[in-house]
Structure 1
Amino acid sequence: MLHVTRIQPLAIDPPRRSIPWALYHARGGITGFPSPAQDYDGRRIDLNEQLIPRPTSTFMFTADGDSMQCPDGSGIYAGDRLLVDRSIDADHGDIVIALVDGEMIIKELRCRGCPPALHSANPHYTPIPLRDAQYQIWGVVTDILRRMRR
């Protein structure tokens, strides 16, 4: 089962940090129109602006476990950091942080055409029906942050 190991509330007004846009462009061929990315030479990227549109309701979690790992290698892995927005109403197909019987878990909410349940991406885990469970949808996962090189 995939659990939440750490909750890191984000600052209400996080300091602005920016990353430069790439100044070099790679092209696979010579034909076609110039890259639209050329318009952004020298500009900077603010990750707060890109990833956190509602800072007062956004939190960061660290995932633990294997229930959201897909057989094809995709999904959420232990150690992934999840940006979770509490102001979004959860809908069918959303990945959510849910409090079920006192335990915080990460699952996909499915509620269209079937009784509402929380599903794992890993087929070794059975769905958790919500009809008779004590649960609360805590927030919706909006982004997964994964370090590619350690």
Structure 2
Amino acid sequence: MKLKKINGLTLFNPEETQDSGALFFDAGISAGYPSPTEDFSNQHYLSLDKELVKNKQSTFYAKVSGQSMIGAGLDDNDLLVIDRSLEPANNKIAVCFLDGEFTVKRLRVDVDGIWLKPENPNYPIIRVTEDNNFVIWGIVTNVIKKV
């Protein structure tokens, strides 16, 4: 994975390798009452890049910094999978470049304009105007969390 820093945003570009993948047990792990021990013979290797990255050439990773999207399940230091080939649309979560800074927000798009909506009531909704230097870098497709 290549690491690149741009204007305070750390970007990770996926690199597929021949030996990528970790052992995957396709048995379902109970999150309720414990289930009887199953035979883990149904196993194979799983590549998260192959599962999470649909468009390799246009996908990158970035870490969340801050608390403005906690209501959408995006916490500080979560790793986002972002696809630049997807069309921005109303209600999608997007990584945007706004007036010299990167931000991740939910898009609100209607006939009256574009707003960047945080998922935390402690942060204001941002209205994008012609005066803003604004670019949508990509649409968030997945989030990877540490527990």
Contact conserved, 2:14 with 2:49, CA < 8 A, in 1?
Answer: no
- Structure 1 segments, 4+ long, off by >3 Å, are 13-16, 23-29
Greater mean deviation of Cα atoms: 105-114 or 14-23 = 14-23
Which residue number corresponds to residue 7 of structure 1? 11
Identity of aligned residues (%): 24
Give the TM-score normalised by the residue count of structure 1: 0.76
CA distance in 1, matches of 2:8, 2:107: 17
- Which letter does structure 1 place at the counterpart of 2:145? R
Q: Could you list the per-position Cα deviations for residues 41-96 of structure 1 after superposition, in whole angstroms to 9, with x for gaps in the alignment?
A: 133222121011211111110111111112xxx52111101111111111111111
Q: Write the mapping of 1:30-109 to structure 2, written as runs, cut at 5 A.
A: 41-70=42-71, 75-109=73-107
Change (3 A) 1:26 1:89: closer
Q: Which has the higher contact order (CA 8 A, sep 6+)?
A: 1
Q: Could you list the per-position Cα deviations for residues 5-27 of structure 1 after superposition, in whole angstroms to 9, with x for gaps in the alignment?
A: 4112222x444422233265667
* 1:139 corresponds to 2:142: no
CA distance in 1, matches of 2:51, 2:62: 18
Instruction: Count residues with an aligned counterpart.
Output: 133
CA distance in 1, matches of 2:82, 2:28: 33
CA distance in 1, matches of 2:60, 2:114: 25
Unaligned runs of 5+ in 2: 1-6, 34-38
Larger fraction in strand? 2
Contact conserved, 1:93 with 1:109, CA < 8 A, in 2?
Answer: yes
* 1:124 corresponds to 2:140: no
- Which letter does structure 2 place at the counterpart of 1:51? L
Cα RMSD of the aligned pairs, angstroms, is: 2.6
CA distance in 2, matches of 1:97, 1:44: 31
Give the TM-score normalised by the residue count of structure 2: 0.77
Contact conserved, 1:65 with 1:77, CA < 8 A, in 2?
Answer: yes
Change (3 A) 1:14 1:106: farther
Secondary structure of 2:91's aligned partner: coil
Unaligned runs of 5+ in 1: 30-37
